[in-house]
């Protein structure tokens, strides 16, 4: 339980961003600003699949860069102090959201009846939107880590 609290404290900003983003999406849906489009074609869902795959690929690359940075003493100290947990959390959250959207897109592509189920459409499109938010955050975090690596040289 103590470790969970420590992780929660380290990731407070990420969790806050996720909650605020979900709240904003919910309010946008409630007020009709954001609507799920059930008239999308199979080609549109393939486009969602492609976008999610590309974003997930960049995120995995960023994760690889962060892990390779652990060979630097300064970054290794940050890792051992738990400072990098919030960076990992943002990447993992974005990847999870990409996978969620990918699964929904595949369900819709291979079975057209899912194109009429609002929950699946919301899952596909909102997961993509939220993953873009966390992708931007992750890339900003990665930029910070790269700057720390470059300064340590």
Tens-place pLDDT, residues 92-134: 999 999 999 999 999 988 887 777 778 888 899 899 999 999 9
CA nearest 20: which of 104, 141, 137, 143?
Answer: 137
Kindly report the average pLDDT of the chain as a whole number: 86
Calculate mean pLDDT across residues 63-67. 87
pLDDT at 153: 63
Using alpha carbons, select from 118, 108, 123 the residue that is nearest to residue 22. Answer: 123
Which of 20-34, 64-78, 111-125 tops mean pLDDT?
20-34
Q: How far apart are CA 61 and CA 146, in angstroms?
A: 13
Q: Is the dihedral of CA 131, 137, 141, 144 positive or negative?
A: positive
The whole-angstrom separation of Cα 112 and Cα 104 is 12
Average pLDDT over residues 32-41: 79
Percent of the chain with pLDDT over 90: 37
């Amino acid at each position: 339980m103590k470790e969970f609290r420590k992780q929660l404290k380290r990731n407070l900003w990420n969790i806050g961003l996720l909650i605020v983003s979900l709240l904003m999406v919910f309010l946008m849906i409630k007020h009709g600003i954001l609507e799920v489009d059930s008239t999308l074609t199979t080609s549109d869902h393939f486009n969602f699949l492609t976008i999610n795959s590309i974003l997930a690929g960049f995120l995995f690359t960023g994760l690889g860069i962060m892990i390779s940075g652990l060979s630097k003493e300064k970054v290794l100290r940050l890792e051992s102090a738990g400072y990098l947990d919030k960076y990992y959390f943002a990447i993992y959250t974005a990847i999870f959201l990409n996978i969620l959207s990918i699964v929904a897109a595949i369900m819709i592509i291979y079975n057209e009846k899912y194109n009429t189920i609002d929950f699946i459409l919301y899952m596909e499109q909102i997961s993509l939107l939220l993953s873009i938010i966390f992708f931007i955050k992750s890339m900003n975090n990665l930029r910070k880590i790269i700057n720390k690596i470059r300064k340590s040289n």
